[in-house]
């Protein structure tokens, strides 16, 4: 029996083949996901690396992608003198006295020496032989290395330029742009939530004559390009004196949005109507039912709509360009950064620094609310 049990527990060839195929399938999917994620994040990584550079780091040949400067060594020991002998191009041997004084700086190179690449400071440059100083072992003195020092690679150290962000913060008037953007985005968010929740609640819970036709017409407006209504809207807002103010960027969001209404309506319809009936039996009005029954269970969808509109308002460029041109004290961050980038078109590090600063707030908000945001996108319901 023991031999039979062991033979049954031993994996067979078909079983191993199935496990191998399953492993290869999982590995292929994981590899594809990693490649896709790398391709997606590569521009963002380049943006972050560029934001911490300066113009000199861009112009340095063979510089790495990350913000780095050529490594140097500053001699801090006592003043010393060395007598060196080196071979000239003509084959002659010459002697020379070299002095090391405090606060002298020397470039650091990657030097192959005795099978190991070392980071040494180049003290004396000669055509055929050069002399280096080991920063970790100054007592060893000057070290002779045979070869042409021009063939050596420089050693690089991480050297981010934090002053890019300080300069952009001061020149672009970032606090003012942040205030303007927050006012536009938050007030528009409030209008979007109030109007979209009310319309979605009506479509999902009330019997309205022609409700399906009205909802179809509402959804059909999603395919309407915004450029179709741009000129009529601009003419209307100019006629009523709203041009040059925040009103065209805020007031229209108090009249709901087809996409937000669709998301909220679909979520509201997954909530059992028995909860509404129980609230009605307890004497709750439709508004009370919405506030106490529907919305507490629809937090993921509400957060998704709120964040979607906030991100859209934060990145909106065309609207502020139309209505706030010439009003520098009212412009949001999208328009302010674009104006700043036009001034620094030949300095990509400053452009990327300002763009990274403008991207920071939406990224923080997304990570703080990503759980509710993703649940709202999936729109999961409860079983009836």
Predicted pLDDT of residue 378: 54
> Where do you find CATH 1.10.3720.10 in the chain?
172-378
> From CA 383, how far away is CA 184, in angstroms rounded?
39
Instruction: Give me the mean pLDDT over the 101-113 stretch.
Output: 89
Residue 332 dihedral angles phi and psi, to the nearest 5°: -80, -175
Q: What is the mean pLDDT of the chain?
A: 84
Mean pLDDT computed over 252-272: 90
DSSP 124: E
Residue 382: the pLDDT is 41
Q: What is the pTM of this model?
A: 0.74
Residue with tokens 């191993």: 16
Is residue 107's pLDDT more than 60? yes
Token code pair at residue 198: 């009310």
pLDDT digits (tens, 9 = 90+) for 330-353: 989 988 888 888 777 778 888 888
Average pLDDT of the segment spanning 60-75: 85
Residue 300 confidence (pLDDT): 85
The per-residue pLDDT for 151 is 87
Q: 336 Cβ partners below 8 Å, 6+ apart?
A: 172, 173, 177
- Position 381 scores a pLDDT of 42
For residue 66, what pLDDT band results from cuts at 50, 70 and 90? Answer: confident
How do residues 267-322 score in pLDDT, each as one tens digit? 888 888 888 888 888 888 888 988 888 888 888 889 889 988 999 999 899 999 99
What is residue 11's predicted lDDT score, i.e. its pLDDT? 60
| Residues 172-378, CATH architecture | Orthogonal Bundle (1.10)
Least confident of 7-21, 28-42, 66-80, 315-329: 7-21
- Closest C-alpha among 153, 151, 164 to residue 58: 164
Residue 380 in this model has a pLDDT that exceeds 60: no
270-to-264, 273, 297, 383 alpha-carbon distances in Å: 10, 9, 10, 8
* Torsion from C-alpha of 173, 176, 180, 181, nearest 10 degrees: 50
Cα–chain-centroid distance for residue 234? 33
């Amino acid at each position: 029996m023991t031999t039979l049990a062991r033979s049954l527990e031993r994996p067979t060839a078909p079983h191993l083949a199935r496990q191998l195929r399953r492993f290869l399938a999982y590995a292929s999917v994981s590899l594809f996901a990693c490649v896709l994620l790398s391709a997606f994040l590569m521009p963002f990584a380049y943006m972050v690396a560029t934001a911490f550079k300066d113009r000199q780091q861009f112009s340095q040949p063979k510089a790495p992608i990350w913000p780095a400067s050529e490594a140097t060594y500053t001699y801090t020991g006592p003043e010393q003198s060395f007598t060196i002998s080196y071979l000239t191009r003509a084959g002659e041997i010459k002697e020379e006295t070299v002095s090391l004084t405090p606060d002298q700086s020397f470039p650091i190179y990657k030097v192959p020496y005795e099978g190991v690449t070392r980071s040494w400071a180049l003290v004396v440059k000669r055509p055929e032989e050069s002399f280096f100083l080991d920063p970790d072992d100054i007592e060893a003195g000057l070290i002779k290395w045979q070869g042409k020092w021009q063939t050596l690679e420089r050693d690089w150290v991480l050297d981010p330029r934090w002053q890019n962000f300080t300069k952009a913060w001061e020149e672009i008037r970032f606090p003012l742009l942040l205030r303007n953007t927050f006012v536009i985005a938050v007030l528009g968010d409030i209008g979007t939530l109030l109007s979209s929740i009310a319309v979605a609640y009506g479509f999902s819970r009330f019997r309205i004559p022609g409700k399906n036709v009205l909802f179809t017409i509402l959804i059909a407006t999603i395919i309407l390009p915004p450029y179709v209504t741009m000129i009529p809207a601009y003419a209307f807002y100019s006629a009523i004196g709203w041009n040059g103010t925040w009103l065209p960027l805020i007031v229209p969001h108090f009249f709901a949005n087809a996409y937000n209404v669709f998301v909220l309506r679909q979520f509201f319809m997954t909530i059992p109507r028995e909860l509404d009936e129980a609230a009605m039996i307890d004497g709750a009005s439709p508004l009370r039912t919405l506030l106490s029954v529907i919305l507490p269970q629809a937090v993921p969808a509400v957060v998704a709509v709120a964040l979607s509109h906030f991100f859209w308002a934060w990145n909106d460029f065309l609207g502020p360009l139309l209505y706030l041109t010439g009003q520098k004290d009212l412009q949001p961050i999208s328009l302010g950064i674009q104006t700043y980038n036009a001034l620094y078109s030949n300095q990509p590090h400053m452009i990327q620094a300002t763009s990274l600063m403008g991207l920071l707030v939406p990224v923080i908000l997304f990570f703080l609310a990503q759980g509710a945001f993703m649940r709202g996108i999936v729109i999961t319901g409860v079983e009836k």
